[in-house]
Structure 1
Amino acid sequence: MSLRTIMIFPEFENMDIIDRIRDKYDPLARLVRPHITLVFPFENEMSNEAIKEILIKRLYDVKPFEIVLNGISLQVDKYGNFLLLDVQKGEEDICYIHEVLCKNEFKQFDSDIRYKPHITIGKFQTEKELNNAYNELKNLDESFTTIVNKISVEVIGKNEESIIVIEKML
C-alpha cells in the first residue's frame, strides 16, 4: 500500500517567489511542488482507478476556477509549526472539493483540524524559528493568481518524493 494525497498544483507566473521562500523554509521544497492539499495523506486498499472514478463522480459539477493567494499566516498545531500562503479568492471552490471528498469516500482520513486552504511555504522545528520567518515575510505583498483546471493524486515515494498518478481535468 502506498501513501497518497489529493491536491491542487497551481502554476503561477511568479512561482519563482514561492520557490525561493520554500527553498529556504520548507524541508519538502525539493520533493513536492507548491500545492494546496485537498485530502491529507492517506493509505488504503483503493486502486488508483477507483480513486479516479470517485473524482469523476464527486467532481462532475466542478468547473475550472480562479484562485488568488496573498498574505502570510502562521499555524501551530499537533503536526508542527507552519508558515502559510493564504488563499484570498477561490476558497469556496477549494473547500467544496475538500468537503465533497472528505465527507464521503475519504471521511476516515479527514483531519480534526479546521480545513483552511493554503500553500505551505515553511515548516519549522520551533515556534521561535516560525516567528522569525514570519517577521521576515509578513510584509510580502505579492499576489499569485491562476486558474485551477485539474485535481491531482500523488503517491508519496519512499524518499518522500511526489509521484503524480492521477490528473482529473475539471
Structure 2
Amino acid sequence: MDTRTIMIFPKFENIHIIDNIRKKYDPLADLVLPHITLVFPFNSELTNEELNFHLEECLRGIPSFEIQLQGFSKQQDKYGNYLFLNVIKGMDEIINIHSILYKDKLEKFDLGYDYIPHMTVGKVSTKELLDKAFDDVSKCSDRFSTLVNKISIEMIGEHEESIIVIEYELK
C-alpha cells in the first residue's frame, strides 16, 4: 500500500528564498519541493487511476487562483516543532479544495483537525530551536505570489522522497 498525499507545488519567482530557509530548518528540503498540503499523507488501496478520477470529480469547475504567502508562524504539537510560511491570499480557495477532496473516497482519512493553509518551511527538534528559527525567519518580509493552476498527487517513496504520480490542471 502506497503512502500518498495531495499538494500544491507553487512556482514563485523568488522561491530561492524559501529554498534557503528550508535548507536550514526543514529535514525534507532535499526530498520534496516547497508545497502546500491539501490532503495529508494517507495509505490507501485506491489506485492512482481512481485517485485521478476523484480529483477530476472534485475539482471540475474550479478555476486557477492567485495565492500570496508572507510572514511566518510556529506550531508545536504531538508531531513536532514546525515553522510555517503563512498564506495571506487564496486561503478560502485552498480551504474549499481541501474540504472537497476529503469527501467520498478520502473521507475516512480526514482526521478532523482545523485546517489552516500554510507552507511548512521548518521542523526542528526542540522548542528552543523553534524559537531561534522563528526569530531568524521573522526578519524576512518577502511576499511570494503566483497563480495556482495545478494540483498534484505525490507518492512518498521509501526514503521519504517525493514522486509525483498525478498532476491535475485547474481550468
TM category (shorter chain) comes to over 0.9
Shift of 1:111: 2.9
Q: Percent identity?
A: 53
2:44 counterpart letter in structure 1: N
Q: Which residue of 1 aligns with 2:15?
A: 15
For structure 1, the residue ranges without an aligned partner over 5 or more in a row are none
Aligned partner of 1:143 in structure 2 is 143
CA distance in 2, matches of 1:111, 1:87: 22
Across the two proteins, how many residue pairs are aligned to each other?
170
Residue 34 (structure 1) shift: 0.2
TM-score, normalised on structure 1?
0.98
Are 1:12 and 1:144, in contact at CA under 8 Å, matched by a contact in 2? yes
Residue 81 of structure 1 corresponds to 81
Alpha-carbon distance between aligned partners in 2 of 1:116 and 1:79, rounded to the nearest angstrom: 16
Q: Would the aligned equivalents of 1:38 and 1:94 in 2 still touch at CA under 8 Å?
A: yes
Number of the residue aligned with 1:115: 115
- Rounded to whole Å, the distance in 1 between the matches of 2:93 and 2:79 is 25
Q: Residue in 2 aligned with 1:47?
A: 47
Which structure 2 residue ranges, 5 or more long, are not aligned?
none
Superposition deviation, residue 110 in structure 1: 1.7
In structure 1, the residue matched to 2:58 is 58
Runs of 4 or more off by more than 6 Å in structure 1? none
Whether the 8 Å contact between 1:40 and 1:111 is mirrored in structure 2 is: no
Structure 1 match to 2:68: 68
Preserved contact between residue 80 and residue 123 of structure 1 (Cα < 8 Å)? yes
Give the whole-Å Cα distance in 2 for the aligned partners of 1:113 and 1:130.
22
Offset of residue 107 of structure 1: 1.6
Q: Distance in 2 between matches of 1:103 and 1:84?
A: 26
CA distance in 2, matches of 1:136, 1:150: 31
Give 1:159's aligned amino acid. Answer: H
RMSD: 0.8
- Report the secondary structure of 1:105's partner residue: helix
| Distance in 2, Cα, partners of 1:130 & 1:113 | 22
C-alpha distance in 2, partners of 1:156/1:137? 28
